[in-house]
Amino acid sequence: APPDTVLSTGFDFKGYMLEKAAAINCALDAAAPLAHPERIHEAMRYSLLAGGKRVRPVLCLAACEVVGGGSAWAMPAAVSVEMIHTMSLIHDDLPCMDDDDLRRGRPSCHRAFDEATAVLAGDALLALAFGHLANPASYPADGSVPPDRIVRAVGELSRCVGAEGLVAGQVADLEATGVGTPVTLDHLEFIHLHKTAALLEASVVLGAILGGASDDQIDKLRKYAKSIGLLFQVVDDILDVTKSSEELGKTAGKDLASDKTTYPKLLGLEKSKEFADRLLKDSREQLAGFDPIKTAPLLQLANYIAYRDK
């Protein structure tokens, strides 16, 4: 069980997540209204409003708050990272990539609409994400977020999602798929640091930038995000083994049978768990210099990633 519960910290994490997710869902709905031509907007909204956990936008708002910003300052960035996350899932599900029929418990975008519409819905969400982030009208009217912070946020997001970030991770993953031999630990780490951690990093760093963080604070929060990004995937790999061995009555896990390289395959289960513990500790250490009251959400988000059961 997670070490910090609402009883020991006095922080209602579940309430915090629900409250933030509700505000984020409202902002997403407003930022991508139904318009002409209707079908493409329907496809964008179908995937965007399908009810993910909203981990990235919550991280963005929490990072803004930890450096003393108001959460409304970072809402445009929270919206834009969730749009990019959604478009990456739409494209990842396409027949030319993972070829998945289901996403978030319902037909994937190209299944509910068609392939061309899904490609274009992804493209449109990517463009809208940057447009929404860069638009001064997305921010509080009192001028609390100066334009230089917005410009810096746009540049940071571009770097994290492009061919040196998220896209690099997907390319490295595709290259490793189907080759028959397991990839090295370094290659596995490269995939996860780019495919998963890069967007978590953008989420946290954008929130910090818009909240007025110092370079030193941004640096620490970037390290925090990289650790929880890697942690997310290590835990995913561990759950794949433990869940499927539970289901199969303690026989070999499905993960060990598939040809996907995972941490348990390269390190064994025990060492993988030790690595996950190390990453959780590393992420917590980065938060040591911040206001202890304001770090509760980021600490609990790291715990949530480490101790989730699916």
The answer to the question of residue 112 lying near ligand GRG (CB under 6 A) is no
Q: Which of 23, 44, 63, 89 binds ligand GRG (CB under 6 A)?
A: 89
Q: Applying CB under 6 A, does 53 fall inside the site for ligand GRG?
A: yes
What residues contact residue 294 under an 8 Å CB cut-off, 6+ apart? 65, 66, 68
Q: Which is nearer to ligand GRG, 104 or 271 (CB)?
A: 104
Closer residue to ligand GRG in complex, CB, 67/193: 193
- Tokens describing residue 99: 């070829």
Write down the least CB distance from residue 194 to ligand GRG, Å: 9
Which residue from 55, 62, 157, 299 is in contact with ligand GRG, where contact means CB under 6 A? 55
Q: 224 phi and psi, to 5 degrees?
A: -55, -50
Is position 52 an interface residue for ligand GRG (rule: CB under 6 A)?
Answer: yes
Closest CB to ligand GRG belongs to which residue? 52
Tokens at residue 252, please? 């070999």
User: Between residue 200 and residue 239, which ones bind ligand GRG under the rule CB under 6 A?
Assistant: none
Number of residues that bind ligand GRG (CB under 6 A): 18
Q: Both tokens of residue 190?
A: 């490269």
Using the rule CB under 6 A, is 170 a contact of ligand GRG? yes
Q: Does 104 bind ligand GRG (CB under 6 A)?
A: yes
Work out whether 308 is an interface residue with ligand GRG (CB under 6 A).
Answer: no
Query: Which of 62, 83, 161, 299 contacts ligand GRG by CB under 6 A?
Result: 161
Q: Are 132 and 24 in contact (CB under 8 A)?
A: no
- Burial status of residue 282 (CB atoms within 10 A of its CB: 0-12, 13-18, 19 or more): middle
Residue 39 lies near ligand GRG (rule: CB under 6 A)? no
Whether the CB-CB separation of 50 and 89 falls below 8 Å is answered with no
Shortest distance, position 168 Cβ to ligand GRG, whole Å: 9
60 binds ligand GRG (CB under 6 A): no
Closer residue to ligand GRG (CB): 89 or 176: 89
Q: Which of 47, 80, 117, 196 binds ligand GRG (CB under 6 A)?
A: 196
Q: Residue 59 contacts by C-beta under 8 Å, 6 or more apart in sequence?
A: 200, 203, 204, 207, 225, 298, 301
Residue type, 295: T
3-state secondary structure string, 9-71? HCCCHHHHHHHHHHHHHHHHHHHCCCCCCHHHHHHHHHHHCCCCCCHHHHHHHHHHHHCCCCH
Q: Which residue number, 81 or 209, has a Cβ lying nearer to ligand GRG?
A: 81
| CB contact at 8 A, 300 and 13 | yes
Task: Give min distance, CB of 250 to ligand GRG, in A.
Answer: 27
Q: Are 225 and 197 in contact (CB under 8 A)?
A: yes
Regarding 262 and contact with ligand GRG (CB under 6 A), the answer is no
Measure CA of the first residue to CA of the last residue in the chain; give whole Å: 14
- Which residues are at the interface with ligand GRG (CB under 6 A)? 52-53, 55, 84-85, 88-89, 91-92, 97, 104, 126, 161, 166-167, 170, 195-196
